[in-house]
């Protein structure tokens, strides 16, 4: 029996691709597509391949009985999603970025009652980069300066990206730096020389760039660059659906893509 799926943020760039891939793969029964109140596409078919499922508002009654919910909406929209999942005992894959500490705490509390997978990036390759960046920083030691550059489309609201912050956090964990105190966001002015132990984080917003993340390790005499480029949003959508399928039936806990990919045991 196919898991029943609800997609939140259904009219967004990611939501549309998740719905389309879910229909193409045929591994889920899509029972709902949710959007924020007042969105101009509410009531229209979210995806031609999902048998006429329409977008509805957060204020409306979610379709009952979802086994798993995938949310790529906005920080403001997570309250409705988490509330629905708790009420229906649905698993939750949350890929929304820009969450503050209060929201993350609320998600952690919810994960004591339902399985929750929270990830700033559901791409398999990007999660490999998360791991590699931390390991490389530990191996290279304090003699290498570290800079993170992330590039996204002109419409992305939060900066730096959640993935850039995850990269920085992993590096801080493996090198004993304080997160986020060690981060420097861009540089300007006449007194902007690098301070030892800091990590530079820089954001580019231009055109229709899907997502590019680079981690630069540089010292006197050499530079090492780790890079991930997403060719399309299908990379993230496929990872999110893989995570959703994996999460159904798991015990309540807060999971990550590393758990899905079993990188923690390697």
Domain-by-domain residue ranges, the chain? 4-122+233-265, 124-229
Please, which pLDDT band fits residue 55 given cuts at 50, 70 and 90?
Answer: low
For domain 124-229, give the CATH number. 3.30.360.10
Please determine, for residue 58, whether its predicted confidence score (pLDDT) is greater than 90. no
Q: Give residue 1's pLDDT band: very low, low, confident or very high (50, 70, 90).
A: confident
Which residue from 126, 171, 165 is spatially nearest to 144, judged by alpha carbons?
Answer: 171
Is the pLDDT confidence value at 12 over 90? no
Q: What's the whole-number mean pLDDT along residues 13-25? A: 91
Reduced to 3 DSSP states, what percent helix, strand and coil does the chain have, rounded to the nearest 5? 35, 25, 40
239, pLDDT greater than 90: yes
Q: What is the pLDDT of residue 128?
A: 93
Q: What is the mean pLDDT of residues 181-190?
A: 94
Confidence check: pLDDT of 61 > 80 = no
Does position 221 have pLDDT exceeding 60, yes or no? yes
Per residue in 101-151, pLDDT tens? 999 999 999 999 999 999 989 999 999 999 999 999 999 999 999 999 999
Q: Which residues contact 162 (CB under 8 A, 6 or more apart)?
A: 97, 98, 120, 121
At 23, is the secondary structure helix, strand, or coil?
Answer: helix
Q: Is 112 a catalytic residue?
A: no
4 is catalytic: no
Please compute the mean of the pLDDT values over residues 163-172 and round it to a whole number. Answer: 97
- The CA distance from 248 to 90, in Å, is 8
Distance CA 198, CA 155 (A): 29
How large is the average pLDDT for residues 175-190?
Answer: 95
Set 4, 36, 156, 202: catalytic member:
156
Residue 266 pLDDT: 40
Helix 162-175 vs helix 124-140: angle between axes, to the nearest 10 degrees? 30
**In 3D, which of 266, 259, 265, 3 has the Cα closest to residue 122?**
259
Catalytic residue from among 152, 213, 228, 242: 152
For residue 97, the model assigns a pLDDT of: 85
For residue 129, the Cα-to-chain-centroid distance in whole angstroms is 14
Please list the residues that pair with 151 across neighbouring strands: 204, 212
| Angle ∠(194,195,200) on CA atoms, nearest 5 | 60
Give the pLDDT mean for 166-185. 97
Distance CA 183, CA 195 (A): 10
Architecture of domain 4-122+233-265: 3-Layer(aba) Sandwich (3.40)
pLDDT band at 265 (very low <50, low <70, confident <90, very high): very low
Q: In this structure, are residues 166 and 174 in contact, taking their beta carbons and an 8 Å threshold?
A: no
Q: How far apart are CA 237 and CA 13, in angstroms?
A: 10
């Amino acid at each position: 029996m196919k898991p029943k799926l609800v997609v939140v943020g259904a009219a967004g760039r990611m939501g549309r691709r998740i719905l389309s891939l879910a229909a193409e793969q045929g591994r889920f029964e899509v029972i709902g597509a949710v959007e924020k109140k007042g969105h101009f596409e509410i009531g229209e078919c979210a995806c031609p391949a999902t048998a006429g499922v329409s977008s509805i508002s957060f204020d409306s009654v979610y379709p009952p009985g979802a086994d798993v919910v995938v949310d790529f909406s906005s920080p403001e929209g997570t309250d409705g999603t988490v509330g629905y999942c708790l009420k229906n005992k649905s698993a939750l894959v949350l890929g929304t970025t820009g969450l503050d500490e209060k929201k993350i705490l609320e998600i952690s509390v919810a994960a004591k009652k339902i399985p929750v997978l929270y990830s700033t990036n559901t791409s398999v390759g990007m999660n490999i980069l998360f791991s590699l960046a931390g390991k490389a920083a530990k191996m290279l030691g304090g003699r290498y300066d570290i800079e993170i550059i992330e590039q996204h489309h002109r419409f992305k609201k939060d900066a730096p990206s959640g993935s850039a912050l995850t990269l920085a956090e992993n590096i801080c964990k493996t090198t004993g730096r304080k997160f986020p105190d060690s981060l420097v966001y861009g540089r300007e002015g006449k007194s902007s020389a690098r301070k030892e132990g800091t990590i530079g984080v820089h954001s580019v917003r231009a055109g229709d760039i899907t997502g590019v993340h680079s981690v630069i390790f540089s010292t006197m005499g050499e530079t090492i660059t780790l890079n991930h480029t997403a060719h399309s949003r299908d990379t993230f959508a496929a990872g999110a659906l893989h995570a959703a399928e994996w999460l159904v039936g798991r015990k309540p806990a807060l999971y990550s893509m590393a758990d899905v990919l079993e990188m923690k045991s390697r």
